[in-house]
Structure 1
Amino acid sequence: MSLMITDECINCDVCEPECPNNAISPGEEIYVIDPKLCTECVGHFDEPQCQQVCPVDCIPLDPEREESREQLMEKYERITAVES
């Protein structure tokens, strides 16, 4: 699954720089996560970095975007191949 940011977000700006895939950006009211870029940090870290730094715990799994670890790794490989 990709992650999502809920409306509990306080726009503290700590999650955006932690995302290795640049999937987090400012939205109209709160930060948003691009599901096409979110790999839950698979390929980079053992745990999602945005969840680790979020002071209000507002970054859960997006139940509408289920992905297996293998699918997340494939997405990571596509993203990093484009960056190379």
Structure 2
Amino acid sequence: MSIYQHFRQEEIETVKLLEQLVAQVESQYAPMLTHFLDPRKQFILTTLVNRTELHVCFFWRQWRPRAYACIDLSGLLRSSG
């Protein structure tokens, strides 16, 4: 079963890009900070990370829906919201 079937057709490129970021963190054992992600991309990234042993947390400014995401192995960078 492909992960792509769970997302909209127009989101496939985004899913592939975020999948590459997750794979890079797994292979390099180094945290990664993304560019700003809108709420839907945050959901996609969380879905992909939850399939691994990695952790993701989001950092955003007050009153803005877009956020930076940090993907890491240790879980030390967890966000409470």
In the superposition, the TM-score normalised over structure 1's length comes to: 0.32
Relative contact order, CA 8 A, sep 6+: which one is greater?
1
Greater strand content: 2
Greater helix content: 2
In the superposition, the TM-score normalised over structure 2's length comes to: 0.32
